[in-house]
Structure 1
């Protein structure tokens, strides 16, 4: 027989099995296009580093998903076509001839899906890039970009996938006899055995997963335990569907009063014989649907909450902190020099500052235990200590000026603000001296940048001299004495970003030996969107893949009925 005979037979088979082959071909095309798009974007120099890193991670996830899902789908197709191959074998075709037919079919599907998928991917790549640039609120560059490296990676990956699919198909043909091939499509009808142990394991696994997710309150612990909970829930879901459903049906069957009724007898008997082959598919649909909901809700919520995240973390548009020497005698002079430098840059850009806030601060990393702050700690002590906290000291004069109050403090008195609960003592010990707590401040305009996961304490002391005394204490722990300034502007986001960059450059060049840090709401917004836009993009891509997979599984289950 000539090779054209096998080509003709392969093409004829594909046409006759169009109801099952076309959805599979469509899935291959879409997966190829999406993989090329996300890989190409991850290598596009027009995007930020964080976005490219997230997209690169997404390309790995899509690649792994493509391998698993295309294998799963092809195995289903082969199971449906075993009877067809069995007939070919009985009519005289040897298994090596069947292998040739499958090779030609795989080649046609692979080449078609690769060419069409890459064409769609190249066409949509620019559209997706424009969407990302719109999310970043950046200028859109001209030109059309095709990533040759992404094309080669896509061809290599999906070429290998289709080759492995071909080998798996051959395996299913070569290691069974013709009779098994003829009946291969109906082997799932056998009544499954009752599996109490797996059912119990499924319930326990599901319970552990939901217990972890519902009882974990600490933010950092939740991040660490999230994937563990997901794994337990997935394992539990599979076991409940595959074993738990059979156990339930067996229990109903053993109840004679319930089972021996016309409606119950027919439905339970029918489900009993068919649940084995349907259970895994139903579990897949359930898990994929949950993945879609979780992925979309999480990524969209993160994106929609960007402004809230930024506003909660940054009370003003720009803040800066410049270190002060312990030998300095004129803080006001240093404040004025810093203000003059800031005003000069504001005038260059043509914007004005407002709602400004200035004060001297002393920060320590330490530990709050009972009625004392332990601040004489080494860095190793802080790493090993679970109750580490940030302690900030400010003077009463700065506090009254900022708050518009006229509070009074004695030398041995302080006022305290904290983002923690439970500190109800009347005094606190700082560097072996006891201070009475005159007042607990509820709300402060001071930017803290610390949420409840990181304990923060603001301690108002009687005067600047007290702050200097604390600053001169010998301690190996991280501490800093700084002039702190923070203000809003009437500029646009672009102007505020320019202000931040120029301010940083100017202050850095003139900082001498002083420490320096600056923070900008505009810069933070740019960095956050750089990461979250990539996460949103990957989340939407994965959701489309999960929906496509769930729909395809449901479609195949429907046509088998």
Structure 2
């Protein structure tokens, strides 16, 4: 009989070991995907695979992996055979076997709330960053040829009709965006957008040193083989090969006139060289600010200016117009994100509530048993409450870890939406994590009252 029981126990332990190891491997695989996958056509499949691995891995880890860890601690006699550790580990092990699936569900619900809120709020709060990446001034006009005198008169007359006062009107030449990708220290120019098929794509734009000096007031003192490079997504420096020419480049981390001329997902990079290379097509960029009170008046002016110039949307960008469009689009996403998060939060609260009730009824008998073996009521209460709190905190800790590993993948998506402010992302992630943690503890405190009422009825 004893041999049969021992055999069953060994098989049970082997099953937990296999499931726990598989859960850890799945989570490691999911985290590796989120850290290494870059946005491209096949990226969505990778992200879906990562989500599936996280879901399965979390369940296996909470159900079997935690028991496996506690079993390992039990075999450390110097650690386990102490009253404090003995009671805690024995109690937590029993709780994890009984409630592992529930804890995993809470962890995944909290993860979903964190990821959804973080993505939605980052998009909305980053609208101004995105707008400035499209046009650093109030208006940006991009044409194949410099604006004619007639077009300049159109701008002045339209501004006068709408009582807009123009300022800082500037024009300069730059090369048309070269769409390609970085292969190590070499830029491979693929030409058209439709040919892009890699995860390091970029839109490279060149300006000469005189233009850089005129627009920034800084004199770079460049030779023919030297250059400055502004790459907001990933700063680059050293020897870079562009269009067959080797440049010794220095990274610059801010460029006041940098913008995304096509409003595309391809990250713009600006290179400052002594002279623009021969043979590359160029574009003319005209920028200016204007003074006009009221968003409706500003929208009307920007719309009228584009119509009077007869230029398409891709060539005329107004900050007010882009801001209005992004607020409509991202505002809807934030609203949906809050609704989903609210639904998930209510579901999490219900799961926690029923978990605390089941814990209370289970601990009624456990409370009596621990007193019968010699523990005082105070020691028994403290031991059980510490076990409950420790187990209760595991899901939120797992959710925070999941968010941390999801951040690099979300950041890559934000970069393709022309949002490069990593500091803002960290602040938002920290704020929503602290907010969820505080709410989680409030829910714990409220449901613990019910737990106390059940236990004290023994």
Normalising by the smaller structure, the TM-score range is 0.5 to 0.7
Rate the CA distance shift 1:272–1:498 in 2: closer, same or farther, 3 A. Answer: same
How many residue pairs get matched?
342
- The structure 1 residue matched to 2:109, chosen from 288, 293, 301, is 288
Matched, 1:304 2:102: no
Matches within 5 A, 1:269-418: 275-324=96-145, 334-365=147-178, 379=192, 382-383=195-196, 389-394=202-207, 398-399=211-212, 401-403=214-216, 416-418=228-230
Matched, 1:498 2:309: no
CA distance in 2, matches of 1:276, 1:284: 14
Q: Which has the larger radius of gyration?
A: 1
Matches within 5 A, 1:10-89: none
- The structure 2 residue matched to 1:519, chosen from 294, 313, 317, is 317
CA distance in 2, matches of 1:436, 1:258: 61
Rate the CA distance shift 1:441–1:273 in 2: closer, same or farther, 3 A. Answer: closer
Secondary structure of the equivalent of 1:361? strand
Matched, 1:484 2:285: yes
Shift of 1:210: 3.2
Deviations 1:420-439 (A, max 9, x none): 6555449x776x8x798899
Secondary structure of the equivalent of 2:164? coil
- The structure 2 residue matched to 1:507, chosen from 309, 327, 338, is 309
Shift of 1:216: 3.5
- The structure 2 residue matched to 1:533, chosen from 331, 351, 355, is 331
Is the contact made by 1:382 and 1:388 (CA closer than 8 Å) also made in structure 2? no
Rate the CA distance shift 1:384–1:212 in 2: closer, same or farther, 3 A. Answer: closer
Shift of 1:533: 0.9
- The structure 2 residue matched to 1:208, chosen from 6, 26, 29, is 29
Is the contact made by 2:237 and 2:249 (CA closer than 8 Å) also made in structure 1? no
Is the contact made by 1:366 and 1:391 (CA closer than 8 Å) also made in structure 2? yes
Secondary structure of the equivalent of 1:470? coil
CA distance in 1, matches of 2:89, 2:283: 76
In the alignment, what sits opposite 1:230? 51
- The structure 2 residue matched to 1:470, chosen from 256, 272, 279, is 279
Rate the CA distance shift 1:354–1:223 in 2: closer, same or farther, 3 A. Answer: farther
TM-score calculated relative to the size of structure 1: 0.50
- The structure 1 residue matched to 2:259, chosen from 436, 441, 448, is 448
Rate the CA distance shift 1:366–1:544 in 2: closer, same or farther, 3 A. Answer: closer
Secondary structure of the equivalent of 1:316? coil
Shift of 1:323: 2.5
CA distance in 2, matches of 1:386, 1:522: 32
Shift of 1:507: 1.9
Secondary structure of the equivalent of 2:176? strand
Relative contact order, higher structure (CA 8 A, sep 6+): 2
CA distance in 2, matches of 1:266, 1:487: 72
Deviations 1:385-443 (A, max 9, x none): 77765444556665554445788999x788654426555449x776x8x7988998876
Matches within 5 A, 1:155-304: 193-194=12-13, 195-213=16-34, 215-216=35-36, 224=44, 225-251=46-72, 275-304=96-125
Secondary structure of the equivalent of 2:324? helix
Rate the CA distance shift 1:222–1:441 in 2: closer, same or farther, 3 A. Answer: same
Aligned residues: CA RMSD: 4.5
Shift of 1:380: 8.8
Is the contact made by 1:388 and 1:455 (CA closer than 8 Å) also made in structure 2? no
CA distance in 1, matches of 2:203, 2:328: 29
Rate the CA distance shift 1:365–1:495 in 2: closer, same or farther, 3 A. Answer: same
Secondary structure of the equivalent of 2:258? coil
Shift of 1:270: 5.9
Rate the CA distance shift 1:538–1:357 in 2: closer, same or farther, 3 A. Answer: same
Shift of 1:254: 5.8
Is the contact made by 2:238 and 2:250 (CA closer than 8 Å) also made in structure 1? no
